[in-house]
Amino acid sequence: PDEAAQENARLRAELAAATDYVHSLVALNHSQVEQLRDAQEEAQSSTEEFRSTNEELQTAKEEVDSTNEELVTINEELRAANTELAKASASLRTSGDLTSAIIETMRYPLLVLSAGLRVESANQAFLAAFGVGRTETIGRLVYDLGNGQWNIPELRRLLEDILPNNSTFDDFEVTHDFAKIGPMTMLLNARRLEGGDDNARLIVLVIADITARARASLALQDTAVEQLRSNAELEQFAAVASHDLQEPLRMMASYIGLLQARYAPLFDERAREYMANVTNGAKRLTGMIDAILTYSRLGQEDSGVTDIDSAYALRNALANLESKIAVAHAIITHDPLPIVQANREQLTQLFQNLLGNSVKYGSPQRPPLIRVSASEKPQEWVFAIVDNGIGMAEEDFTRIFEPFTRVHTKGKVQGSGIGLATCKKIVDHHRGRIWVESKLGVGSTFFFSLPKRGAPAV
């Protein structure tokens, strides 16, 4: 029994020991499980951090790639910009060369002045026109050029006003006696040229030589003065002719009338023919003097140009020619005629002279047929007077409008030879034209034009 009790005690001790050992193993296992769980959690956390880091690295890589692409694009743009800049620089150089070439080939003298009014450039036309060299011109103050010919107070004021006020001036007239080339009259024109900065602001000065024009203008003024003097003398002559020439004619006609009244029964046929010739000669001379006076006075009086009905002037002319038309059995018709700008009395005289001419030079084979018409042009009215008279040769078309010119039937048809010259002077006074078309044995057409209101002079 003791041995059995001892064996049981031993077994219980061993069982207790085994139990404790198992418990220690369980505790160790539990601790290891906890450590493993912690290790797994740490591993998972590390994995997530690693994944996050990878994602950040991927994002960074993408940003780097994007930045590289942008840099490539920027580089390409810079290369393109450099190329364009090179082209622009070349174009600018070409443009500058072209501008210089244009300036150099200009026919007008030209100066380019700096902001300080020193000569930056002078073209060949300037150097040639003023007889100066390039070295003695470039860089000098414009007022010091030559013998100081450009040191003109008004010109100084105009030039010095251009840059501050962006002003210009045109056709500033200067007359100067140059030492090398003599007197010259010029028109000066100036403009501001803008550069890249204030220091690049320039003035271009262009010079036009109008010396010949100025001399022509002075000559024209002298001619106008001489014309006024001549017109005054002509007026005086007309007054003298009106009195001193016509008075003897009136006395002669009066005495011829007395001779015919008192001594007509004593005259034979030849004497009466002589007296008739003298009377007709006196009448013709009186008519010629009147025609000359009318011709000389045209344009001396006020123009009196106004809107008038040309048909009214034609009717007045026909009334004045009534007896001559009746004697010649002439038939005169007209189309509708316009309102024109004219002197009423002169237009009546114009119609009267042209119609009277057509009646006077009618063909002996047929009665005179005359037609008056007018056609409208953009700037004028053109009148036509068509007849079926004897006509004229082409070489006479111009000279028939000269005073005292009669191209045919001398001695057969009475006239002063000044009627058509008067017509031309009237038309000239109205700034129009007059001409004729004709054929011998067929007839003539006289044309004249009257400008419309505001039309330029012919």
Question: Residue 273's domain is classified under what CATH number?
Answer: 1.10.287
Backbone phi and psi for residue 250, each to the nearest 5 degrees, phi listed first: -65, -40
Whole-angstrom distance, CA of residue 433 vs CA of residue 426: 10
Answer with the residue of higher pLDDT: 375 or 193.
375
What is the tally of structural domains in the chain?
3
Given a cut of 70, whether residue 385 has pLDDT beyond it is yes
How confident is residue 319, by pLDDT bands cut at 50, 70 and 90? Answer: very high
Helical spans, DSSP H, in 329-406: 344-360
Grouping H, G, I as helix, E, B as strand and the rest as coil, residue 74 is helix
What is the rounded average pLDDT of the residues 394-404? 83
pLDDT at 331: 94
Same domain for 289 and 414, yes or no, is no
Backbone phi and psi for residue 77, each to the nearest 5 degrees, phi listed first: -65, -40
Instruction: Identify whether 184 is part of a domain.
Output: yes
Answer with the residue of higher pLDDT: 112 or 408.
112
Instruction: Identify whether 29 is part of a domain.
Output: no
Same domain for 276 and 229, yes or no, is yes
pLDDT at 40: 64
Instruction: Identify whether 50 is part of a domain.
Output: no
Same domain for 361 and 387, yes or no, is yes
| Last-in-domain residue among 209, 229, 257 | 209
Given a cut of 70, whether residue 316 has pLDDT beyond it is yes
pLDDT at 386: 96
Answer with the residue of higher pLDDT: 296 or 267.
267
CATH classification of the domain holding 198: 3.30.450.20
Type of residue at 343: N
Whole-angstrom distance, CA of residue 24 vs CA of residue 17: 10
Same domain for 326 and 286, yes or no, is no
Instruction: Identify whether 68 is part of a domain.
Output: no
How confident is residue 26, by pLDDT bands cut at 50, 70 and 90? Answer: low
Mean per-residue pLDDT of the chain: 78
| Last-in-domain residue among 158, 190, 209 | 209
CA neighbor of 280 nearest in space, from 414, 403, 410? 414
pLDDT at 234: 67
CA neighbor of 414 nearest in space, from 287, 275, 257, 276? 287
What is the rounded average pLDDT of the residues 203-217? 80
Q: Domain containing 397: what range?
A: 305-451
| Last-in-domain residue among 174, 209, 244 | 209
Given a cut of 50, whether residue 95 has pLDDT beyond it is no
Type of residue at 422: T
pLDDT at 150: 75
What is the rounded average pLDDT of the residues 27-35? 68
Strands 331-334 and 369-376: parallel
Instruction: Identify whether 383 is part of a domain.
Output: yes
How confident is residue 190, by pLDDT bands cut at 50, 70 and 90? Answer: confident
Task: Out of 115-124, 175-184, 268-277, 378-387, pick the least confident.
Answer: 175-184
Same domain for 175 and 286, yes or no, is no
Same domain for 129 and 203, yes or no, is yes
- Tell me what percent of the residues of the chain surpass a pLDDT of 90: 20
Contacts of 285 (CB under 8 A, 6+ apart): 249
- Would the pTM of this model clear 0.95, i.e. be above it? no
Whole-angstrom distance, CA of residue 98 vs CA of residue 83: 22
- Tell me what percent of the residues of the chain surpass a pLDDT of 70: 69
Burial status of residue 43 (CB atoms within 10 A of its CB: 0-12, 13-18, 19 or more): exposed
State the distance between the two ends of the chain, measured CA to CA, in whole angstroms. Answer: 172
DSSP3 helix / strand / coil % (the chain, rounded to 5): 60, 20, 25
pLDDT at 196: 47
Tokens representing 165 are: 């006020």
Answer with the residue of higher pLDDT: 7 or 451.
451
Same domain for 318 and 427, yes or no, is yes
Answer with the residue of higher pLDDT: 363 or 64.
363
Type of residue at 367: P
Same domain for 194 and 217, yes or no, is no
Q: What is the CA radius of gyration of the chain?
A: 57
How confident is residue 432, by pLDDT bands cut at 50, 70 and 90? Answer: very high
Same domain for 313 and 403, yes or no, is yes
What is the rounded average pLDDT of the residues 8-25? 70
Task: Out of 101-105, 210-214, 290-294, 339-343, pick the least confident.
Answer: 101-105
Same domain for 184 and 254, yes or no, is no
Same domain for 289 and 244, yes or no, is yes
Instruction: Identify whether 90 is part of a domain.
Output: no
What is the rounded average pLDDT of the residues 158-165? 81
Q: Dihedral through CA 190, CA 191, CA 194, CA 195, nearest 10?
A: -30
Whole-angstrom distance, CA of residue 441 vs CA of residue 400: 17
Given a cut of 50, whether residue 92 has pLDDT beyond it is no
pLDDT at 229: 75
In angstroms, the Cα distances linking 277 to 7, 267, 303, 377 are 209, 14, 40, 49
What is the rounded average pLDDT of the residues 349-355? 93
How confident is residue 39, by pLDDT bands cut at 50, 70 and 90? Answer: low
Whole-angstrom distance, CA of residue 65 vs CA of residue 248: 124
Instruction: Identify whether 201 is part of a domain.
Output: yes
CATH classification of the domain holding 349: 3.30.565.10
Same domain for 328 and 399, yes or no, is yes
Instruction: Identify whether 152 is part of a domain.
Output: yes
